[in-house]
Amino acid sequence: MSFAELLDHVGGMGRFQIIYVNLLAIPFFMLASHNLLQNFTAATSEHHCHVHININNTPDTNLTGNNLQPEKCHRFVTMQWQLLDSNATVTNLTELETEPCADGWVYDKSIFTSTIITEWDLVCDSRQLKQMAQCIYMAGVLAGGIIFGGLSDRFGRRSPLIWCYLQMAVTGTSTAFSPSFTAYCIFRFLSGMAFSGILMNAVEWTPTRTRAVVVTMYGYCYAIGQFILAGVAYAIPNWRWLQLVVSLPYFICFIYSWWFVESARWLVIAGRPDEAVKQLQRVARINRKKEEGDKLNTEVLRSNMQKETASAKSSYTFINLVRTPVVRRISFCLSFVWFSTTFAYYGLAMDLQNFGVNIFLIQLVFGAVDFPAKFISVFTISFIGRRFTQAFTLILAGLSILANIFVPQDLKILRTVLAVVGKGCLAASFNCVYLYTSELYPTVIRQSGMGLSNTMARLGSIIAPLVKMLEEYILFLPLIIYGAAPIISGIAATFLPETENHDLAENEIVQHFQEIKKSKILVSN
């Protein structure tokens, strides 16, 4: 029997698995809060140059702008007393000499009492640092995937997961007490690393037949987390307190995670079958399958997991993802799909203020659209096919984003609706590509394929905030890029083979790899 059959032997989706899955799901509610947190902690409030009060308590009038409204980044060099007279006729304001805001800014604190923008004056010449901070966080997510992926393979699943809970709690809390913007970025980078480590170890003890349901449940937990973020951010308008509130729960996760058991599958592959038997017997007892658990021993474990152990120790590497024409085409197309889906997703999800609608309301709507989007995608995946679903959702998402270029800024509702449609399509694309990727790659290189896909996805999330900076040169240029990327990847998805109700060409691919190995051996001899 395989490891999946061993899990069924000790209770399948029994009491232990239900408790385990629910304990793992709790952190997922708060993961969305950390991923999308800068929508609120880095919200840009209305601002203008600081206005001095002179000795007679009469405000100066060094303000410029259309309709005599305060200018965000400049002021008059000399005070313009005539602007105090509402009946006075003022002309040639544009000819007066101006200068940058040398004495700081005044911020509108009616919505957010404090953000990293207002605290460290990340406006005007420093406004791009906001996008840079999000880019640094996403770079941490990429680094965490690489580092904790290697640590999980070397030291097991349990220890890195416990460490990630602690790291998220400590670095998230430290972020709330950051003395400077540099310290803030460092702590956010470390939080991003912990984010990846938490995501990676979620289904080790889940039987194969229920794994899709569990993964879907985690996805909905993340979606619900977007609702939680909107509510908590509305209740806590101070960024330091908000950061603290979404970080402290991970201390609780760290405490109860000591109850977790090490993956029995990893213990066998790591050459520690005695410990694997003990863990399986413990699971059997909790699942009230003690007699079945007592029948297990190291010999039974070794004999039944020979195939998995041999597969895990095979010498297939990332090179095998581009070695054959079939797999090379799959890797190339999937890389486009993963990159573009994440790239466009964060391009929309991290730009809520741009729509001009209540930021808390739009966060709720953006979270809510994930539910019908993923639900509909399940039906199209099952009854129409993976390839159609993948291509259609990406192309429709791209068209929705591009359509906003032609919608006037004052039509806020229409702009929001198009963005919500695009975000829903990208959520459906996520749902499809995760399943599609696991089906397209043969078993022996599936982990390498998923690793490549994860890397491309993280690169997309890193580049997304950098592209936002291009609006300084051409206002609609980011939308063109955010929209074009999923359309191109949707076209690329049409070149992928369909896997619905089709046997994968796994044996053919593996046989091709074996022939390559044999040819190398003959050449070396």
Domains defined for the chain, CATH in brackets? 1-36+122-313 (1.20.1250.20), 47-107 (no CATH), 314-525 (1.20.1250.20)
| Residue listed under structure tokens 């399940």 | 378
Give how far Cα 148 sits from Cα of 74, 171, 267, 339, Å.
47, 16, 17, 21
pTM here is 0.83
Q: What's residue 241's pLDDT?
A: 95
Element (H, E) at 375: helix 370-383
For 221-258, what is each residue's pLDDT tens digit? 888 888 899 999 999 999 999 999 999 999 999 999 88
Is the torsion defined by CA of 152, 172, 133, 397 positive or negative? positive
- In the block, which residue shows the tokens 């947190």? 37
Is 432:444 a contact under the CB 8 Å cutoff?
no
Q: What is the mean pLDDT of residues 388-396?
A: 92
d(CA 484, CA 468): 14
Task: Locate the DSSP E strands across 69-188.
Answer: 74-76, 98-100, 105-107
Q: Quick one: pLDDT at residue 60?
A: 45
Query: Cα 218 vs. chain centroid, distance in angstroms?
Result: 13
* Higher pLDDT pick, 101 / 407: 407
Residue 349 predicted with pLDDT over 60: yes
Least confident of 80-94, 115-129, 386-400, 446-460: 80-94
- Alpha helices (H) along 156-207: 158-176, 181-200
d(CA 402, CA 269): 49
Distance of CA 428 to the CA centre of its chain: 14
- Span 346-363, average pLDDT: 84
162: nearest Cα among 150, 173, 151, 172: 151
> Region 332-357: what's the mean pLDDT?
87
pLDDT higher than threshold 60 for residue 198: yes
